[in-house]
Amino acid sequence: MKPRLLQHGRLPDALEARLAAQYDVHPFWQERDPAAFLAAHGHEFVALTTRAAHGADAGLIGALPALRVISSFGVGLDKIDLEAARARGIAVGFTPDVLNDCVADAAFALLMDVARGISAADRFVRRGDWPRAAFPLSTRVSGKRLGIVGMGRIGKVIARRSQGFDMEVRYHTRGPADGVPYAHEPSLEALARWSDFLVIATAGGPQTRGLVSASVIEALGPQGFLINIARGSVVDEEALVRALAAGRLGGAGLDVFAHEPEVPDALLGLDNVVLLPHIASNTRETRQAMADLVERNLAHFFQHGKVREAAI
């Protein structure tokens, strides 16, 4: 008999087909009354798939008393209640590392775009403004100072990318990271003051909520640029919008927002902001690798009792 698997949120089509061949999958995202479904059928499921955007909260985990394994499509764990899983001995698999390159590339795409005005210049050409006016001067990237918030898997790749642009790197984490050749800055505000570009590459969740506060944004200042490929929750979004609108921050490149898919209206008219719909890992190659790992984590669990890439 195939293990019964609850699918929380859509997954890439090919992965859904592969999972359906191996597991007795129920598409939970189609349920009109999820609570009633869980009350009647929650006890049937031994496996759960989810994605970073949906996670698995204590309520869902609690409604699945036979659950043994969660396999999440994504590296972010901020929406999975790891404590609830740990307390029940539920294995949690996720997809780290395979997305580092594409997320770091996206951070650099945003950085280059917002500094050089690439998207704004594209709009300028399309509007037919070129024959009538000169495009305003932009900001040099090469040789500048790059501050990185978080020096995990993705932060390290962003730092490596920056070496091709002869940038000086410093980073902020709670304590210095092992084996990292860049200067550690214990104060995030001091790092922001020093930085030309501040890139957020730290995990979301309660520990980092609002870490990039109004005073950090002020410290980055009117010549500084903020890049966020992590989670919207890490930034005080209202303070960010106010600073951008008032010219107290040079610009921002954002892949993530506090209330996705909502983007603050005030940002839509600003030319010093580049806005992406949370696509940093969204390449065919990386999504394939993530899908493979979601499948492999489950297969490994059912063969060996533990997932390949364990979050806890």
Q: Which residues are catalytic?
A: 231, 260, 278
- Does 74 participate in binding ligand 8YV (rule CB under 6 A)? yes
Only one of the segments 67-75, 161-169, 172-180, 300-308 lies at the binding site for ligand 8YV (rule: CB under 6 A); that segment is 67-75
Tell me whether residue 80 or residue 219 sits nearer to ligand 8YV (CB atom): 80
Give the closest residue to 296 by CA, choosing from 1, 2, 19, 28: 19
Neighbours of 68 (CB within 10 A): 17
- Does 19 participate in binding ligand 8YV (rule CB under 6 A)? no
Q: Please, which of residues 81-140 interact with ligand 8YV by CB under 6 A? A: 99
Interior/surface letters 195-220, b for 16+ CB within 10 angstroms, e for the rest: bbbbbbbbbbbeebeebbbeebbbbb
- Does 144 participate in binding ligand 8YV (rule CB under 6 A)? no
Only one of the segments 31-39, 50-58, 61-69, 152-160 lies at the binding site for ligand 8YV (rule: CB under 6 A); that segment is 50-58
Question: Of 100, 208, 233, 281, which one interacts with ligand 8YV (CB under 6 A)?
Answer: 281
Question: Of 47, 64, 67, 76, which one interacts with ligand 8YV (CB under 6 A)?
Answer: 76
Tell me whether residue 190 or residue 275 sits nearer to ligand 8YV (CB atom): 275
Give min distance, CB of 107 to ligand 8YV, in A. Answer: 13
- Does 250 participate in binding ligand 8YV (rule CB under 6 A)? no
Give min distance, CB of 94 to ligand 8YV, in A. Answer: 8
Tell me whether residue 200 or residue 220 sits nearer to ligand 8YV (CB atom): 200
Only one of the segments 51-59, 79-87, 118-126, 304-312 lies at the binding site for ligand 8YV (rule: CB under 6 A); that segment is 51-59
Only one of the segments 33-41, 68-76, 126-134, 141-149 lies at the binding site for ligand 8YV (rule: CB under 6 A); that segment is 68-76
Estimate the crossing angle of helix 100-116 against helix 153-163, to 10 degrees: 50
Chain residues binding ligand 8YV by CB under 6 A are: 51-53, 73-76, 99, 278, 281
